[in-house]
Amino acid sequence: MQIQDFINIIEEWAPTSQAEDFDNVGLLVGNPNLNLTGVLITLDTIEKVVDEAIKKNCNLIVSFHPIIFSGLKKLTTNSYVEKTVLKAIENKISIYSIHTSLDNHNEGVNYKISDKLDLKNSKILIPNKENNHIGMGRIGDLEKSVEEKEFLEFIKIRMKTNSIRHSGLLNKKIKKVAVLGGSGAFAIKNTIEQKADAYITADLKYHNFFEANKQIVLIDIGHYESEQFTKNLIHDYLMKKFPNFAIILASTNTNPVNYF
């Protein structure tokens, strides 16, 4: 099997056509005509991930985030992006990014978060204008209403984080919950319009928390933390398609954020 054959299966599941216009998805590095030796699944492609691919004889890395996002004008060792791409090229390792192709998938990134939080009757938060079967975010209901602090503790356990930033608590129970993995400030208005009690996302800035306006509890759990289970989602799907092939979940922790 060639690398391109494997990519074809990925794109049947999460077509590049459903990615956001600003994004950089698809095969970013490498020769699609090489024979495939193994696949390493990761959230981010960094130099240590390439090292892991070399060690495990994987010549294709399937990454959620794209290592090349804006244009590269040179390939030296001056940045982590250049170092990573250069090492991949030198070792004939291809890199594929799935990113917003999977963000927009009806059973993609946010479906996985909803599942982790046991949300019931969930649906797409912001449907695509041309195809309402895909879109950003998800919104659903908890099985029963819970107190705000109890809900925050529940998130810590389910999303494996000890650090949560949130807007002011409203002293009312949480029932309807919206989620959006990664940077989700753009959807605050949508969550309020859809009467969500809480919105779980990441990368909220100082002034974004004012947008809660005593109408919703905004919960920032961190970018990595919100998307950490995405690589499991990709791995599990591809394992069903290729149960007898070497598809390996990367063990490298790619979270660049440290907590004290």
Task: Please give the mean pLDDT across all residues of the chain.
Answer: 97
Q: Give the integer Cα–Cα distance in Å for 150 and 129.
A: 36
Bridge partners (DSSP) listed for residue 61: 40, 95
Are 74 and 144 part of one and the same domain? Answer: no
- pLDDT tens per residue, range 55-110: 999 999 999 999 999 888 889 989 999 999 999 999 999 999 999 999 999 999 99
Amino acid at 186: F
Q: Kindly report whether the global pTM for this prediction surpasses the value 0.75.
A: yes
Residue 73: the pLDDT is 87
Residues 138 and 215 in one domain: yes
Structural domain span for residue 184: 104-226
Q: Are residues 109 and 126 in the same domain?
A: yes
pLDDT score for 52 = 98
If asked whether residues 60 and 114 sit together in one domain, one would say no
Question: How many CB atoms are located within 10 Å of the residue 135 CB?
Answer: 20
